[in-house]
A and B are shown apart, each in its own frame.
Chain A
Amino acid sequence: MNSTQNVIAGVGLADRPLKSRWPARMDFAQSASGLVLGLFMWGHMFFVSTILISKDAMWSVTKFFEGYFVLGVSYPGVVSIVVAGVLGLVMFHAFLAMRKFPANYRQYRTFIGHRRFMAHEDTTLWWVQVVTGFLLFFMAAVHLYQMMMHPGDIGPYGSADRVWSGRWWPLYLVMLFAVELHGGVGLYRLCVKWGWLEGKDANASRRKLKAAKWVLTVFFLVLGLATLGAYMKIGYEHRAQVGEKYTPAWAVPAPKEKAQ
């Protein structure tokens, strides 16, 4: 059975006489989801990098997110829920952004030729976003699934063991570059796309935005590499005791954990 609506939409006349409002909503949602992910990514990097301060610091951040300092008991399940939300957001963002990918041979051929010949920075940066975005489809999915299913293993030893003995570091290494480039360029593009921070002289503010973008990208890359290096080192040194959890001397005995 076909309703009137199905018949009309089935032959491509759904948006007559008036244009659909969906393209407006999708453009907005693509930017909004990108903004949240981009800011999340920076916050995330700060949390993860607490390992550079000390194992205790990283342990405390982990326990904080598990609700330990408020509830007195750790709930790694809380982390699972947050991760599921992020995964949903990544999927939503990717679904919307996918519309912009070149879709066939002719479009690829044209865009690549255009990019090479024109050698225009913002055009090239968009291409960087396409490539890194494509990579993140897979890498973010793998990483997030792992975090969602094993939130209890996050910690100074748990994470380091995963990075080293679990051989996750190659993924994190590539993903670090992908995510920092993707997110950094993305946040810059949000500004020029919507006219944020434009001020009186759009060209001058764009130059400043771009400079700020590069400074931030380099900063987060350096921080990320140092952090990953720290986990690799701890993981290497801890390779004989994989599975043992870290507990700061002042928190012994280890806090209770609620089953997931």
Chain B
Amino acid sequence: MAEVKAARTLTFKILRYNPRVPGDKPRLQSYQLEEADGMTLFIALNEIRDKQDASLAFDFVCRAGICGSCAMTIDGRPGLACRTLTKNLGAEITLAPLPVFELIADLSVDTGKWMRGMSERLQTWVHMKQEEIDLKRIEDRMDPDLAEEIFELDRCIECGCCVAGCGTARMREDFVGAVGLNKVARFRLDPRDKRTDDDYYELVGDDAGVFGCMSLLGCHDVCPKQLPLQTQIAFLRRKMVLQGTKG
């Protein structure tokens, strides 16, 4: 006979704060909810907003771990609300917005602005020589293994968890974060990108770049896409040290 377990009552302690409301103070507000089968934080938060408090602010788009907009701090760790099952958490769940990024209100932050700044700074697009941009020519074939490797790194959804989970990024505002370093590693692999290590050194060869990383590996441990951040940062570090000690 299958055992019927009584549903748990979950207590959500949610950080409420709207920096645009003058005099508003950060505080924790509690909500209670009966746990349902297969409940994610996405489902729970929507239920709270629908039935208990319409003023609660949080972001969602895809509900499938693809858009990266639902990232928040879950019991102290950055993660995606839509990919987090309540059954893997305790009966009391603390939710807070991601640090580092501009706070909109409650659990909603603007990661887009930060990511755009990072992309512009690191020029995260394929750089081709002008004369090679010939739209009529058939593109060179890419080795499938290499394409696979690039694709692996391209899975980043820019959710910002790695930045929020990084002690270095927390302390130093100009640090590019694992997301940025991973992107450089990705374009470095791409044979269409004509940039050399000399060019990459100009982008990340200082304490705001790869040498700022103190190998705390918070990024690696919280990335919801399980990107190989530890390996990529170590690899980039070796290449950049080589570049920096060469000339």
Q: Does B47 contact A (CB under 8 A)?
A: no
Number of interface residues of B (CB under 8 A): 34
**Does B214 belong to the interface (CB within 8 Å)?**
yes
Interface residues of A (CB under 8 A from B): 18-21, 23-28, 99-100, 102, 107, 110-111, 114-115, 117-120, 122-123, 126, 189, 192-195, 198, 202, 206
Q: Closest residue to A28 on the B side, CB-wise?
A: B241
B247 surroundings in chain A (CB, below 8 A)? 21
Q: Which of A24, A110, A117, A123 contacts B240 (CB 8 A)?
A: A24
State whether B243 touches A120 (Cβ < 8 A).
Answer: no
Stretch in contact with the other chain, from B19-27, B110-118, B148-156, B163-171: B163-171
Q: Does B40 contact A (CB under 8 A)?
A: no
Binds A, one of B62-70, B136-144, B231-239: B231-239
Q: Mark B161-183, 1 if CB is under 8 A from A, else 0.
A: 00001010011100000000000
Contacts A107-B171, A111-B170, A118-B77; A24 near B245 (Cβ below 8 A) = yes
Stretch at the interface among B3-11, B48-56, B125-133, B215-223: B215-223
**Residue ranges of B at the interface with A (Cβ–Cβ < 8 Å):** 73, 76-77, 99, 165, 167, 170-172, 201-202, 205-207, 211, 214-218, 221, 228, 230-231, 234-235, 237-238, 240-241, 243-245, 247
Q: What residues of chain A lie closer than 8 Å to B211, measured between beta carbons?
A: 23-24, 26-27
Question: A117-B76, A120-B221, A193-B237 known; A19 and B201 CB under 8 Å?
Answer: yes
Indicate which residue in B201, B214, B234, B241 contacts A100 across the interface (CB closer than 8 Å): B214
Residue from B73, B99, B234, B245 in contact with A193 in the complex, judged by beta carbons closer than 8 Å: B234
Point out the residue from B73, B76, B171, B245 that lies within 8 Å of A25, measured CB to CB.
B245
* Set A18, A28, A99, A120: member contacting B207, Cβ < 8 A: A99
